[in-house]
Structure 1
Amino acid sequence: MPDPSPYTVELLFDRDCGFCVRSAEFLGRIDRRGRVSTFALQQRGAPERFGVDTDAALEQAWAVDSRGDRYAGAGAINAALSGVLGTRIPLFVYRIWGIRQLQDRLYSWVAANRHRLPGKGGSCAID
């Protein structure tokens, strides 16, 4: 018998990064069933809730799912998409050798260039 409880995800993001804020808002708009909750790392106790310190939270997004599994970077984004879609397929695809490495590199590029991406502003923007 399938588990009747829905797959949910909590996502930690940087509220001072315009790109991160826009991305979190986008997730909220497409999450019709409310399965993804977002937390700004600047909220009191948020990094600790995800088991990371502030420096780690500033480096990449973090997610914890309803099973207690923790994800970072591209894995966190796949977990959030899994929550939105109500299926763990994005996480299964992410685990495929080659795809994981590609997504991790893409995530690293986005993280390094987020001040140039739509939603610029906040602490990651370059004046």
Structure 2
Amino acid sequence: MSGILFFDGDCGMCTRAKNLLLRMNRTGAVRTEPMQRPGTAERVGAPAETFMDSIWWLDDDGTVYSAAHAANAAVAAAVGTQIPLALYRLPGVHQVQELAYRWVAGHRQYFPGTTPHCTSAPGDCAR
């Protein structure tokens, strides 16, 4: 499994999480791109009005996941095991993870972060 994780490049917490994922990327199977690149919503087939509400994973086979499912897919690809996705698929686990993801995403401005990607690499985030 390999693919691209699309993250909010204007969010310091999201940038910090992306950097952590890349440090975990022992397989080299994970690439990241800021969601602010033109045409990204169309690439994943997401509605423009809700695209920025969560992260997105575009698997190399064309499969698309969002929110907690995308995070699990990215971690699975980074560490080279399907365990995160297997756990996510257990009854009740994905519902809890999605609720937690939505809460964190809705409060991300209160979490510690780093310099947002689009601030440190503005040419990578052309709008």
Tell me the distance in 2 between the aligned counterparts of 1:16 and 1:96: 33
Identity across matched positions, percent: 39
Unaligned runs of 5+ in 2: 117-127
Runs of 4+ with deviation above 3 angstroms: none
SS at match of 2:38: coil
Tell me the distance in 1 between the aligned counterparts of 2:21 and 2:114: 18
Tell me the distance in 2 between the aligned counterparts of 1:90 and 1:106: 16
Task: Identify the residue that residue 94 of structure 1 maps to in structure 2.
Answer: 88
Higher helix proportion, which one?
A: 2
**TM-score scaled by length of structure 1:** 0.83
Give the C-alpha shift of residue 120 in structure 1: 6.5
Name the amino acid aligned to 1:117. F
Determine if contact 2:26/2:79 at 8 Å carries over to the other structure.
no
SS at match of 1:34: coil
Tell me the distance in 2 between the aligned counterparts of 1:36 and 1:64: 10
Instruction: Select between 32-41 and 106-115 the one with higher mean Cα deviation.
Output: 32-41
Task: Identify the residue that residue 52 of structure 1 maps to in structure 2.
Answer: 46
Give the C-alpha shift of residue 121 in structure 1: 6.9
Instruction: Select between 33-42 and 48-57 the one with higher mean Cα deviation.
Output: 48-57
Aligned residues between the structures: 116
- Higher RCO (Cα < 8 Å, 6 or more apart): 2
SS at match of 2:4: strand
Unaligned runs of 5+ in 1: 1-6, 123-127
Task: Identify the residue that residue 74 of structure 1 maps to in structure 2.
Answer: 68
Tell me the distance in 2 between the aligned counterparts of 1:8 and 1:56: 24
